[in-house]
């Protein structure tokens, strides 16, 4: 059974009214359908964990993890049919606890990791584990089952990332370009590098490092750089951002007071090896050159509350997504610090004389940074934004009330970048 989702510019009804069903509001018969209009899906539970299925590059697919104290938690596999604007979902049970963080293997479509809460001896611990989804659900483009209640499936536990001696898990990172066998977890003030062995059934701790000093020494987030042969990661704790070499597990740079308040998230520019983005509770998004960290290269101040997420587009690094507790998602065009500050370059052989003259005029001065669009389909804090791993022009955002919104880069900008 496949149902059409809402394509209204704004979600209809309250958040509670959206839960547990497809978002209502199909355009009236004969109404023009906007190509750039959002598609909205409501989950039954609150949620804050979102990831694309990294190894799936043919179909548009996202995974969402729920947070429920009363019921078994779930992972919703969201397949988006871009041609028909239809969302299909499959649900996996995640019975061990509330999901705080989720990420997928870059090499194996069926493998994922979660950070989740577990109560033991009246204490709440945040743990991490690696899972495999059912074989038949590994690839994208699945239709929703006719009766979702009877078709809910369970995850296969591959291994725990044992944090007994290291504290609460903040997040898990896969080696970006690897074979899916190396994974890093951040637990309290510890960086833990794991080797997954025996088809990911065993996690062996290969090396670790501990954050030492004064102040708040608990990691809040981290990101593994796709550059430098995948030997560097960046971490955030309190207001500080640090770089680490995974071979020696030593610190290689430190940005103290990177933000005025807690740093929430980090992301590396996929095309410029020294460029790093950060965001935090001071409502700012900052861009850094890690070779000179005394001042940020650029600062964005478009949000009015904590910024939880920042993401570079995987293909066009001038496109920056941010999500905030102000309930807004902002798409920015940071072209001046991108890998193509003068716009998209083409070979001279491909240009006619007239096009050649136009190209020369275009090259004379860098394009201007700007906010492309502000998306206001959410009514609660936006805790996650992610680009699709299959379509560079499509992204998803997730707010705490369980509302998932799928949006596209405006068509005019897409063609401006490409042409």
Q: Which two tokens stand for residue 57?
A: 């590059």
User: Does residue 353 sit within a domain?
Assistant: no
Determine the straight-line distance between the first and last CA of the chain, rounded to whole angstroms.
39
Question: From first to last of its 419 residues, what are the pLDDT tens digits of the chain?
Answer: 343 344 333 333 333 333 333 333 332 222 233 567 899 999 989 999 999 999 999 999 999 999 998 889 999 999 999 999 999 999 999 999 999 999 999 999 999 999 999 887 778 899 999 999 999 999 876 677 665 455 789 999 999 998 888 889 999 999 998 899 999 999 999 999 999 988 888 999 999 999 987 766 899 999 999 999 999 999 999 999 999 999 999 999 999 999 999 999 999 999 999 999 999 999 999 999 999 999 999 999 999 999 999 999 999 999 999 999 999 999 999 999 999 876 654 444 545 555 555 555 544 455 789 999 999 999 999 999 999 999 999 999 999 999 999 999 999 888 888 87
**What span, in angstroms and rounded, lies between the C-alpha atoms of 235 and 185?**
11
Q: What is the pLDDT of residue 360?
A: 52
User: Does residue 359 sit within a domain?
Assistant: no
User: Does residue 342 sit within a domain?
Assistant: no
Q: With DSSP H G I counted as helix, E B as strand and the rest as coil, what are the percentages for the chain, rounded to 5?
A: 10, 45, 45
Q: What is the pLDDT of residue 299?
A: 97
- Domain with 112 in it: what CATH number? 2.130.10.10
Q: What is the pLDDT of residue 165?
A: 83
User: Does residue 20 sit within a domain?
Assistant: no
User: Does residue 12 sit within a domain?
Assistant: no
Q: How many CB atoms lie within 10 A of CB 128?
A: 28
Q: Which two tokens stand for residue 195?
A: 């080797």
pTM: 0.86
CA distances 74 to 14, 46, 63, 116, 153, Å, are: 22, 11, 10, 12, 10
The torsion angles phi and psi of 189, rounded to 5 degrees, stand at -105, 20
User: Does residue 32 sit within a domain?
Assistant: no
- Tell me if 367 sits within 8 A of 341, measured CB to CB: yes
**What span, in angstroms and rounded, lies between the C-alpha atoms of 117 and 100?**
8
Q: Which helix (H) or strand (E) holds 412?
A: helix 411-418
Query: What is the maximum span of the chain, computed from C-alpha positions, in angstroms?
Result: 76
User: Does residue 143 sit within a domain?
Assistant: no
> CA 223, 244, 115, 402 torsion: positive or negative?
negative
**Secondary structure (H, E, C), 375-393:** ECCCCCCEEEEEECCCCCC
Q: Based on the structure, what is the number of domains in the chain? A: 1
C-alpha of 222 from chain center: 12
Domain of residue 326, residue span: 39-137+151-337+364-418
**What span, in angstroms and rounded, lies between the C-alpha atoms of 131 and 109?**
11
Q: What is the pLDDT of residue 34?
A: 54
User: Does residue 221 sit within a domain?
Assistant: yes
């Amino acid at each position: 059974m496949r149902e059409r989702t809402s394509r209204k510019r704004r979600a209809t009804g309250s958040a509670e009214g959206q839960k547990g069903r497809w978002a209502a509001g199909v355009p009236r018969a004969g109404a023009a359908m906007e190509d750039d209009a959002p598609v909205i899906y409501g989950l039954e539970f609150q949620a804050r964990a979102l990831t694309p299925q990294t190894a799936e590059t043919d179909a548009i697919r996202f995974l969402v993890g729920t947070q429920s104290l009363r019921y078994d938690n779930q992972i919703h596999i969201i397949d988006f049919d871009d041609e028909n604007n239809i969302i299909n979902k499959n649900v996996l049970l995640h019975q061990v606890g509330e999901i705080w963080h989720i990420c997928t293997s870059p090499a194996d479509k069926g493998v994922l990791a979660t950070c989740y809460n577990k109560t033991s001896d009246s204490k709440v611990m945040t743990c991490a584990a690696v899972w495999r989804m059912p074989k038949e659900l590994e690839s994208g483009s699945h239709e929703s089952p006719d009766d979702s209640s009877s078709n809910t499936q369970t995850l296969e536990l591959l291994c725990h990332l044992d944090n007994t001696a290291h504290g609460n898990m903040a997040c898990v990172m896969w080696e970006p370009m690897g074979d899916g066998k190396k994974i890093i977890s951040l637990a309290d003030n510890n960086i833990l590098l794991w080797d997954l062995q025996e088809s990911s059934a065993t996690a062996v701790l290969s090396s670790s490092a501990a954050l030492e000093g004064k102040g708040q020494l608990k990691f809040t987030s981290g990101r593994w750089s796709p550059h430098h042969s995948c030997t560097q990661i960046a971490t955030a704790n309190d207001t500080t951002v640090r770089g680490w070499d995974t071979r020696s597990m030593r610190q290689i740079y430190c940005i103290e007071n990177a933000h005025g308040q807690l740093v929430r998230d980090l992301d590396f520019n996929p095309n410029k090896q020294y460029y790093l983005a950060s965001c935090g509770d001071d409502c700012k998004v900052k861009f850094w050159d890690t070779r000179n960290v005394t001042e940020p290269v650029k600062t964005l101040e478009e949000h009015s509350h904590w910024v939880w997420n920042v993401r570079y587009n995987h293909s066009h690094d001038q496109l920056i997504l941010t999500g905030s507790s102000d309930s807004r998602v902002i798409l920015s065009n940071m072209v001046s610090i991108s890998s193509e500050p003068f716009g998209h370059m083409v070979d001279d052989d491909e240009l006619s004389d007239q096009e050649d003259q136009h190209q020369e005029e275009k090259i004379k001065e860098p394009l201007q940074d700007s906010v492309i669009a502000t998306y206001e389909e959410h009514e609660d804090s936006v805790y996650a934004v992610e680009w699709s791993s299959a379509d560079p022009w499509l992204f998803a955002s997730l707010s705490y009330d369980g509302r998932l919104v799928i949006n596209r880069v405006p068509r005019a900008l897409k063609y401006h970048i490409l042409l």
